[in-house]
Amino acid sequence: MARYFIEVSYLGNRYSGFQVQDDVATIQSAVEQALRTFYRVDIELTGSSRTDAGVHAQSNFFHFDTDLDLQGKAVYNLNALLPHDISVKAIYGVKPDAHCRFDAMGRAYNYFIYNRKNPFLHQRAYYYPFPVQLEKLQACAAVLPEYRDFEAFSKRNTQVRTFQCTIELAEWRLTDEGYCFHVQANRFLRGMVRGLVGTMLKVQKSTDPVANFRAIIERGDCTQADFAVPGHGLYLTHVYYPDGLLHAL
């Protein structure tokens, strides 16, 4: 039996998250249905990470085991079966013990906001019709790599053993349509990126946003963070794996 990784991209608006759940549409359930239709057998997928309802991905991964002889042309066939808002980008052969979640070295996210009404960005970014002070947001983002404990930005009722994360890069960027928060880390907590964005947007209004932002981080109290920004502004952009792990079919 061989193991494969399957790379997907998707718009998450119509789905209740990435991983399979009972009686609701998810990315995993849609991909498993396409595999079942094409190969005429049940194939159970394991996801590399969770994304909440409404969240998008430019690149995310599943892995699965099968005795089937998979070919690269299956990408075309699966895409013909999948709905318009999910795409298979590639299928990779991997070692039998490779794991799409536990072998990931890090992930990167973008969160997009815009403050001038734009119908082409509806449900693709967060419409924030208020002043955006880019320098203050950038100053807040710059302190994130100094910290390791991000309990303040983890939603409650999450089952993790540690709140320790290493943020390698965090910055705000000006785009043609608005603003983008880009963050890369070895791991992320549940709701972490949305909590960071919402909190930075909140503290930018204060006279000393960096001090206020540091205080929220250091208190470790998630009730002080703001998770209210919507999921449709968030994109998983990259899952990083060790060199040589993935071999495209």
Active site residue ranges = 52
Under a CB-based contact definition with an 8 Å cutoff, are residues 151 and 217 in contact?
A: no
Strand-pairing partners, residue 92, are 5, 248
Q: Say how many C-beta atoms besides its own lie within 10 A of residue 205's C-beta.
A: 12
The whole-angstrom separation of Cα 197 and Cα 152 is: 13
Q: Tokens standing for 30? A: 């849609």
Q: Is the dihedral of CA 89, 94, 96, 99 positive or negative?
A: negative
Residue 170 identity (one-letter amino acid): A
**CB neighbours of residue 125 within 10 Å:** 24
Collapsing DSSP to helix, strand or coil, 208 comes out as coil
Burial of 216 (0-12, 13-18, 19+ CB in 10 A): buried
**Structure tokens that stand for 124 in this block:** 């693709």
